Every structure is written in structure tokens, then in C-alpha cells.
Amino acid sequence: MTEITGGIAPVPTPLNADLAFDQEAQATHLRWLASEGLEGALILGTNGEFPSFSLNERRAVAEAAASADSGLELILGVGSCALPEVLAMVDVASSLGYRAVLCPPPFYFRSAPATGIAAFFLQVLERSSLPVLLYHIPQVTGVAISDEVLDLLGGHPSLAGVKDSTGDPDELRRLTHRFADGCYLVGNDRLVSACVEAGGNGSISAAASVAPSLVCAVQRGEGEQEHLGRVRALLEEYGLGPSVKSLLRRFGFGSFATRPPLAGIDDARAPLLWDEFCELIPADRRPS
């Protein structure tokens, strides 16, 4: 199984003012990311707000990303608590030529036993003709990708690795060890250098959507992790998802509206975010 490596952006799903999917904005963003040197993009991950969209909408978003012909390696988030929906999105990814799929545990069922979580994942692994990455983000899902779950999966041939978004160095060490012969992708910008040093494969981190060249430089050992950490801190200060969308809107890529129950940055704070972002990312690293 070919490794999935490098800098990958977990892109937001752009919406217009009517809260409908904006295909043109998605394509513009993906092509800019490719021009800045990223290897790939994650479609319909957490930053893509996948739980906010119907199954038909998610199909449309996945199809549009594939048809954008950006040159990026695309990973499709297939998350849902309903196993039939997950399997349907796995089939969509396969039919559209995606590189891999990313599957979180069924996040509503927080008291499900490890045997049940493993059974859920095994259905996905058996169905998928693509490499499957497990999505470890227990601070959101409430369900960890534990050693017990991994033991129950037993090294299934479709199990490529894990995306670890805990931001916890201890979890980085645990999972790079577990997937020493597979794929470990870190999901927090603050740990990109630590991932490289631990033998990880790459990153799927929020700052890559707005500062892709910086993420690529840190990934290659040519940029400062401290600088990337400051960008991450700024995004978190204003709200990770809302700040990314606000910056992309300022870039001129589209409206990047937000569907309730989530909310965007208010008009008074958006200029402050922009000014602070411009202090960290020079003009030649922003879209012209």
C-alpha cells in the first residue's frame, strides 16, 4: 500500500450566502493549495463540517472536489453514525478516484464497547477498495481509537493508518509506534515537526488551508515550527473553523458562510483577525 505523505489541508466546505454549496469556491481554493505546494486535501472532515450536510450534499461536494482537477491527492471523510451512509460514501470515494478515506468512530454512541467500535470499522475496511485511515479525535467524537480497538482490527489489509487530532504528544508517540509500518498523520499544526521526528508521514492540519507554504516548509524541515505554532494559536483564538473561513473569504475565494448551529466570526472581529494574520504571513504567501 503506497504511503500517504506530506502536507494535506482539511478544507472547509464553502457555502454561499444562501447556505448552499459553492462548487466554484471549492475549486478555486483547491487549485491555490496545489500551487502552494501541498500534496493533498481532506474533503468533508471536521473543518469541512461534514455532519451539517445530507448524504446527497456530501456526494455533491465529493464529486465537485474530484472534478476540480486540482492535482492534489484527495482524501474523503466518510463520517456518519449510520453505517449504511459510511459505506455509501466509501463507494463514492472509490468511484471518483480518491486516494483514501478517513473514517471517525460513530460519535453519537459514546458508550459503545470496543468490540462494537471494531465491528463498525471492520465493515468499512471490508467494503473499501481504498486505504482507510481511522480518525482519532476523541475531544470531538468522545470515542477514542484505543489500543483495544486496534488489536481487534488485527492488521486488516485495508487499514492504512490514522489521523491523530488530539494534539497530545503522548498520543503521537503511541500511534506512531502502532503504525510504524503504516501511515501516521498528525492533525495539529503544533506537532508537525514532532511528527516528522517521530517517523510520521505528514499532517492534516487547519493552518494548511490558509498558510499552505508554511506548513510545507515545516514538513520539509525548512520552516520554523514556532512560526506555524503562532499561526495555529491565532486561528484558535478566533475559533479554528470560523477563522479559516473568514480568511478565505478575505482572500476573495467566496462567501464561505456557515450553516447553523455553527457560526462565523462577527463583522467587528474579522478585520482584527486579518490584521494579525497579515503580520504572520507575508503578502507573497497570500493569494494576490
> Domains in the chain, start-ordered, CATH in brackets?
6-281 (3.20.20.70)
**Nearest CA to 43 among 162, 202, 204, 197?**
204
Matching residue, cell 471494531: 118
For residue range 32-81, what is the model confidence (pLDDT) as tens digits? Answer: 999 999 999 999 999 999 999 999 999 999 999 999 999 999 999 999 99
Q: Which three cell numbers stand for residue 80?
A: 456518519
Residue 75, phi then psi, degrees to nearest 5: -115, 135
- List, in sequence order, every residue forming a beta bridge with 9; answer none if it has no partner: 41
Look at residue 179 and give its three-state secondary structure: coil
Residues 205, 188: Cα–Cα separation, whole Å: 5
Half-sphere exposure of 278 (CA within 13 A, CB side): 11
Q: What does the pLDDT read at residue 3?
A: 77
Confidence bin at 22 (pLDDT 50/70/90): very high
Residues 6+ apart with CB under 8 A from 217: 223
Task: Please state, in angstroms and as integers, the Cα–Cα distance from residue 90 to each residue in 59, 64, 75, 118, 129, following that order.
Answer: 10, 16, 11, 17, 8
For residue range 232-272, what is the model confidence (pLDDT) as tens digits? Answer: 999 999 999 999 999 999 999 999 999 999 999 999 999 99
Q: Is the pLDDT of residue 215 over 50?
A: yes
pTM of the model: 0.97
Q: What does the pLDDT read at residue 160?
A: 97
For residue range 165-209, what is the model confidence (pLDDT) as tens digits? Answer: 999 999 999 999 999 999 999 999 999 999 999 999 999 999 999
Q: What does the pLDDT read at residue 2?
A: 53
Residues 121, 119: Cα–Cα separation, whole Å: 5
Matching residue, cell 464553502: 14
Residues 205, 116: Cα–Cα separation, whole Å: 29
Active site residues: 46, 108, 135, 163
Amino acid identity of residue 47, one-letter, is N
Q: Give the rounded percent of residues in the chain with a pLDDT score beyond 90.
A: 98
